[in-house]
Structure 1
């Protein structure tokens, strides 16, 4: 398997503009304003890789860094807050939202990395599996908690290596192929049981009226729904405490000029329930019987087949 780095420190890998070269040289993240926190495991240096694509013609760019989804001052969080709470309110980090809500007639408190800090939640038999990436809490005009929702974010895990491709971009701003691949199976195995469990936990929250939002790039969105048997196995339901909102958040529009960053937006949303996701996950299509037996026979007695 082979692929390319398609976005490097926020800009297209082929972008040789002063803006693109500057952030790469400084190793800064244009989406947070700080240093890139995605580190290469061995060298412990900033990776800078936001998206990759496979070498196969027509393969899409796939976002591999969750921070990439927070472009335009966390536009994604603002969209979900408005979707969940049916109101356009300003977002503030954790406790800061209380006074702001009193001043502005309401606000949203944000809890997540770089915002309101980590919430203290009970552990499940010693494992903190209740944790989600983000919790948004709507505060009323008195600064009191009125309702909340939660967000789980997933990009793609990579296989192989993009070390040589990264070095080529760093030193010459030249795009070359490397052994980087996309770990689709790991995404499906890991994330689907998590969103089922967290969706069930949120259903027990009196103030969670919109369930869980699962946000991912469109290729991941498509693969997860495909793993669950497709949309026909996941009928659409109105937003409710048992909801799981599958949200495809990805590149939108045509290519941008050099020196500009590709915008992201909601490409598609599919709202169903945690029960339907659980049902689809536990009743996946099985092959015909005796597949192992027949495979053994074909290996042992090739002359008979």
Structure 2
């Protein structure tokens, strides 16, 4: 497998503008406004890699850093809050939302990624985790908790190595191939089972009326759908406590960008189904015909057709 770095510190890898070069020099993430938090474990180098693409012609840029989805001052959180609660309220970090709700006639308390601290959930023995990336809690005009929703964000893990390509890009702004690949196997092994487990946990919450939102890049969404047997295996359902909302993000402007510009993201598709349908689709097996191993052995041993 071979690929390229597609976005580096927020800008196209080919972008040699002052804005792009300054972001690299400062190791700055333009989406957080602080230093990039993604560190290469072996030598503690700041990564700066937001998206990659495979070497195959026509391969899309695939976001590999979840921070990339938080562009435009966490616009994604506002979008999902409006969708889940059916109203436009301001978002505030954790406990700060209580007083704001009383003065503004309502507000959204945000927990996750440095916004409102970690929720003190009970520890679970064995496998599985209660924790989600984000919790949005709607408070009424008195500051009381009325309802909440949860968000899980997943990009794509990588395989191989882009360390040398990253170094070349930083030193000379030259895009060179590397062994980086996309870890699609994680879609089946980790992402889908987590969605099922967390969706079932949230269904038991009296104040979680909209279930779980799963936010991911469009190519990841398509791979999840493929693993689950396609859209026909995941019929649309109205929003309910057992809902899983698939929300796919991707680049919304295919036109050439001027150097110094960051390509915008937006919602490509939103599909609401239930945790039961996801579990059913994940459990169902498309088995091959019988004796596939026997026939393969015979072909290898005896050259039989």
Q: What is the TM-score of this pair, normalised by structure 1?
A: 0.98
Residue aligning to 2:194: 194
Quote the Cα distance in structure 2 between the aligned partners of 1:173 and 1:147: 48
Secondary structure in 1 matching 2:53: strand
Residue aligning to 1:38: 38
Quote the Cα distance in structure 2 between the aligned partners of 1:286 and 1:140: 51
Residue aligning to 1:77: 77
Per-residue CA deviation, residues 180-226 of structure 1 (Å, 9 max, x unaligned), is: 11111122211000000100000000001100000000000100011
Residue aligning to 2:167: 167
Q: Tell me whether 1:250 sits opposite 2:250 in the alignment.
A: yes
* 4+ residue segments displaced more than 6 Å: none
Deviation, 1:126, is 5.3
Aligned residues: 304
Quote the Cα distance in structure 2 between the aligned partners of 1:191 and 1:232: 20
Q: Is the 8 A contact 1:157 1:187 kept in 2?
A: no
Residue aligning to 1:264: 265
Deviation, 1:228, is 0.2
Secondary structure in 2 matching 1:116: coil
Residue aligning to 2:274: 273
Secondary structure in 2 matching 1:208: coil
Deviation, 1:250, is 1.4
Flag structure 2 segments of 5+ consecutive residues without an equivalent.
none
Residue aligning to 2:296: 295
Quote the Cα distance in structure 2 between the aligned partners of 1:58 and 1:178: 17
Quote the Cα distance in structure 1 between the aligned partners of 2:123 and 2:231: 33
Secondary structure in 2 matching 1:50: strand
Per-residue CA deviation, residues 89-122 of structure 1 (Å, 9 max, x unaligned), is: 1000000000000011000000001100111111
Deviation, 1:300, is 2.2
**Correspondence list, 1:44-63, <5 A:** 44-63=44-63
Q: Tell me whether 1:144 sits opposite 2:147 in the alignment.
A: no
Q: Is the 8 A contact 1:52 1:63 kept in 2?
A: yes
Deviation, 1:171, is 0.2
Which range moved further: 231-240 or 291-300?
291-300
Q: Is the 8 A contact 1:228 1:284 kept in 2?
A: no
Quote the Cα distance in structure 1 between the aligned partners of 2:273 and 2:72: 28
Which range moved further: 231-240 or 126-135?
126-135
Per-residue CA deviation, residues 131-151 of structure 1 (Å, 9 max, x unaligned), is: 000000000000000000000
Quote the Cα distance in structure 2 between the aligned partners of 1:82 and 1:256: 30
Per-residue CA deviation, residues 215-252 of structure 1 (Å, 9 max, x unaligned), is: 00000010001110000000000111000001101111
Secondary structure in 2 matching 1:206: coil
Q: Tell me whether 1:215 sits opposite 2:229 in the alignment.
A: no
Q: Is the 8 A contact 2:69 2:76 kept in 1?
A: yes
Q: Is the 8 A contact 2:128 2:194 kept in 1?
A: no
Q: Is the 8 A contact 1:229 1:284 kept in 2?
A: no
Secondary structure in 1 matching 2:178: coil
Q: Is the 8 A contact 2:4 2:55 kept in 1?
A: yes
RMSD (Å) for aligned C-alpha atoms: 1.0
Secondary structure in 1 matching 2:244: strand
Secondary structure in 2 matching 1:210: coil
Flag structure 1 segments of 5+ consecutive residues without an equivalent.
none
Residue aligning to 2:4: 4
Deviation, 1:127, is 5.4
Secondary structure in 1 matching 2:169: helix
Deviation, 1:289, is 1.6
Q: Is the 8 A contact 2:54 2:181 kept in 1?
A: yes
Quote the Cα distance in structure 2 between the aligned partners of 1:199 and 1:154: 15
